[in-house]
Amino acid sequence: MEGSSTEPSPGSSRTATTEGSVNANDSVKDASASPHNLIVKWSGKEIEIEDINGLKTVRDLKQLLQSKTGVQVDRQKLLNLTYKGKLAQDDCILANMGLKVGQKLMMMGSLEKDIESVDIPPEERPDVNNDLDIPDDDEEPLDNREVYLNKIARRVKEYRIHVINPPRPDKKLLVLDIDYTLFDHRTTAETPVELMRPFLHEFLTAAYEEYDIAIWSATSMKWIEEKMRLLGVSSNSAYKIAFHLDYLAMISVHTPKYGVVEVKPLGVIWGQFEQYSAKNTIMIDDLRRNFLMNPQSGLRIRPFRSAHLNRQSDCELLRLGGYLRKIAKLDDFSNLNHRKWESYGGKSHSSKHRRSQNSSGTDSNNSKH
């Protein structure tokens, strides 16, 4: 580390010193220092480090995280903990890094008992339904649909969609999930780019020509924003994200076979933006249950897991981009069969599906909710 002047940590009354004046016997925390907390997200959990003033190096922080998570120090990667533009090394001094009080960090790392299963190639691994997902061939009915429509009406009235860029006239709507759809959030890696689904930025750039793009994730808004920043989505000049929705916009529904599940009802969006409806909206998610309220508008993407094994071969977004370009020419999406997106050829495909639906009397939508 160079002997440049250091800044006092936020919330600390410590006088700025040169790094050379800090030695192993110095106390990093003064008696007068205010608590300096951090929040670390790992494996879907938020871990609060109540005070880092007593910690000297990044390794000290990792040792504390090991005691809280069980993930060994050498397996931990703190993705957005950087020093001079690079991933912070274990011997970096925390006081020199300008960490803010309450700053959010993302940790990647596996428990020892999970390492063996992580290294099994995908073709040898059993097919596991993430979060008890509903198989594509299972037409699961919903109980008490009117109750759920009332829940959606309350969300429309009470939930505030986080608008980043105003919707554009005459654009269709693409609603995207994050985890396992755009980002493998559990595999160990040194940088977010290693966990990003291949062709993400190319996919979003192409889609932006015809679609407003929304992000809807079953997590909190702060983590949506953080993941978008880490992936370079929020700062990309080739496209713009229209708005974000978090877990608070979701509702619980009951299915006879699978019990209570959380879903993402598109009616929450349609009720707040009149220009969007079942005719011009498509939702892409790795969990089919998320669009149980609007099955006709949902497309289940293959989950992107084990990024270190699959990022060289995964072309899902590249192929999906082609499908989105083709259907963008249509005036009405409500008769498309998105389960057959890979074999979509144009008008004949949707017309055939429309005739099939009309003959079976299937209700393709639940109004604008």
Question: What count of Cα atoms within 13 Å lies in the side-chain half-sphere of residue 193?
Answer: 3
Write down the domain spans for the chain: 33-111, 145-360
The tens digit of pLDDT for each residue in 307-332 reads 888 888 999 999 999 999 999 999 99
Longest C-alpha distance within the chain, in Å?
81
CB neighbours of 94 closer than 8 A, spacing ≥ 6? Answer: 9, 28, 52, 55, 56, 57, 58, 60, 61
Is pLDDT of 26 > 90? no
Question: Positive or negative, the Cα torsion across 94, 95, 99, 100?
Answer: positive
Measured distance CA(243)–CA(254) in Å, rounded: 28
User: Coil, strand, or helix at residue 136?
Assistant: coil
Measured distance CA(24)–CA(18) in Å, rounded: 14
The answer to whether the beta carbons of residues 250 and 211 sit under 8 Å apart is no
Most confident of 3-12, 256-265, 288-297: 288-297
- In this structure, what DSSP letter does residue 5 have? B
pTM: 0.63
Place of tokens 């274990």: 90
The tens digit of pLDDT for each residue in 336-354 reads 999 999 998 765 444 444 4
- Across 184-204, average pLDDT: 85
User: Coil, strand, or helix at residue 252?
Assistant: strand
What is the CATH T-level fold of the domain 145-360, as seen in this structure? Answer: Rossmann fold (3.40.50)
The 8 Å CB, 24+ separation contacts for 221-230 are 221/162, 221/246, 222/104, 223/41, 223/104, 224/178, 226/41, 226/80, 226/104, 226/106, 227/106, 227/178, 227/183, 227/185, 227/192, 230/79, 230/80, 230/106, 230/192
Report whether CATH 3.10.20.90 matches the domain 33-111: yes
pLDDT, residue 113, reads 67
